[in-house]
Structure 1
């Protein structure tokens, strides 16, 4: 759908100003949208997964573990597909956030994937920072409606490594996420990153229960965490139901393409702008942290 068509649909959660801001800038921050009771419940489930990770010695289909992870000091970089790991995460993805997605992509909303990222201040910063990148090259679709909604499970200040986004970059170019040797890096090259105008970059810090939203074309990153918190960030990605993936979902769960709002569609919407094709994710994917740190190539 075109922006004017989306805005013509009655809003569910967001104001018209917030919807228009997202469509123009490619991102949105809504402070304390999620109630404290819901956040507390998600934190209880999350703490249980971190505790269980003490039993793991290496990354697997559930956990992406940072270098230095051990039973005495668990360092989970990512809980993979939380929507499939616990009903609490899936119920959350199907609730208010799906209404937010409908406000921004149109009334017919499909689920794409979820992940729960952590940042540990005492871990290797190369495994903790996220370099400038776009999401669209990871999972190209027939159009650029896919967006990701992040939920802060704790208060996140500038020292906690919050999302940083370049306003309006969703209407700019798609960048190459391979290096000169043809190896997937999951980020912009040093030369492309150096050419970005970061003077208007927005640091999306927020208190627990706040959400961030960014479009799949938006250029974004995050700094290393420098505080003592683990900065759990629950990410849920949605698409307009008329967006169909060209390649395998890198974070596929049993809920892939579940219709959460509206109706199934019979026609795909194609954006004429080209998109880069990623590696074959059907054999597995670890995390953006592993790719950008130069660890083994995204294999589970």
Structure 2
């Protein structure tokens, strides 16, 4: 659906002004919108993740561990596909207010794509360099968006999500390096064309959500505080957005309709999109590729 089509439908949760702000700027911050009892349950489930990680000694397709991770001092970077790890993550993703908010921004028919839980551990949790999402998983249109849920209060010193307003309407950047390998971030040379001075940081209390469009340039600083910053991320699209490439964080729930119905026709945006490496052989995490922890696959 086009923004005009979406805006022609009455909103379920958001105001029309909030919807218009999203389409103009490419992001939203909604403070304390998730009920406390839901956040409490998400925290309990996430504590199980941390406990489970203590027995892990190396990263795999589920747990992405910082190099200094130990059983005594666990340091997780990411849990991939939390909706497959514990049923409550999927319940929250598909049956909470989240789906209605997304329907206000992509249209009445909403499709799930993938999820992840980025921990950004205390005292040095890794930065996420400036990048755009859609090059990781291109679709036939640019309706996909990602909703981040703060499980705890997130202040400026914890590395909150940062976005470049209106960048979703601008250039789609090359996220390969000069050596032909995938980096997953925008090069310093290309960043000269990004208005970094306009960056907006999105801290918020527990229960707040961030929303950014798949073309929006975004990133986050390292966490230098004594408190972690777990951010639960779910990516959705309009039902008429069809993926061109394998899902890097695949799930049995991928392509599941969480609101409305399946699309009979695909909607194609004429603007081209860069294609990533073939993820069907396996995907690490954005931290692995951005930090070049070992040589990665060339296109």
Task: Give the TM bin, normalised by the shorter chain.
Answer: over 0.9
Q: Could you tell me which residue of structure 2 aligns to residue 30 of structure 1?
A: 30
In the TM superposition, what are the counterparts of 1:246-265 in structure 2 within 5 Å? 246-265=244-263
2 CA distance for matches of 1:215 and 1:98? Answer: 15
Show CA shifts across 1:7-41 (max 9, x none).
11111111111111001100000000001110010
TM-score normalised to structure 1 length: 0.96
Contact 1:121 1:224 in 2 (8 A): no
- How far did residue 296 of structure 1 move? 3.1
Show CA shifts across 1:68-113 (max 9, x none).
0010110110011001111110000012111111000000100000
Q: How many residues align?
A: 296
Contact 1:110 1:257 in 2 (8 A): yes
Query: Does 1:122 find its partner at 2:119?
Result: no
Query: Does 1:209 find its partner at 2:207?
Result: yes
Structure 1, unaligned runs of 5 or more? none
Query: Does 1:285 find its partner at 2:286?
Result: no
In the TM superposition, what are the counterparts of 1:10-21 in structure 2 within 5 Å? 10-21=10-21
Contact 2:116 2:232 in 1 (8 A): yes
Match of 2:45, SS state, is: helix
**Which stretch has the larger CA shift, 194-203 or 14-23?**
194-203
- How far did residue 214 of structure 1 move? 0.2
Query: Does 1:8 find its partner at 2:8?
Result: yes
Q: Could you tell me which residue of structure 2 aligns to residue 52 of structure 1?
A: 52
- How far did residue 61 of structure 1 move? 2.4
| Pick aligned residue for 1:198 from 196, 199, 215 | 196
In the TM superposition, what are the counterparts of 1:85-124 in structure 2 within 5 Å? 85-94=85-94, 95-123=96-124
- How far did residue 297 of structure 1 move? 5.4
Q: Could you tell me which residue of structure 2 aligns to residue 81 of structure 1?
A: 81
Contact 2:168 2:215 in 1 (8 A): yes
2 CA distance for matches of 1:276 and 1:250? Answer: 15
Aligned alpha-carbon RMSD (Å): 1.1
Structure 2, unaligned runs of 5 or more? none
2 CA distance for matches of 1:152 and 1:298? Answer: 31
TM-score normalised to structure 2 length: 0.97
- How far did residue 298 of structure 1 move? 6.5
Match of 1:55, SS state, is: coil
Query: Does 1:163 find its partner at 2:169?
Result: no
Q: Could you tell me which residue of structure 2 aligns to residue 39 of structure 1?
A: 39
Q: Could you tell me which residue of structure 2 aligns to residue 229 of structure 1?
A: 227
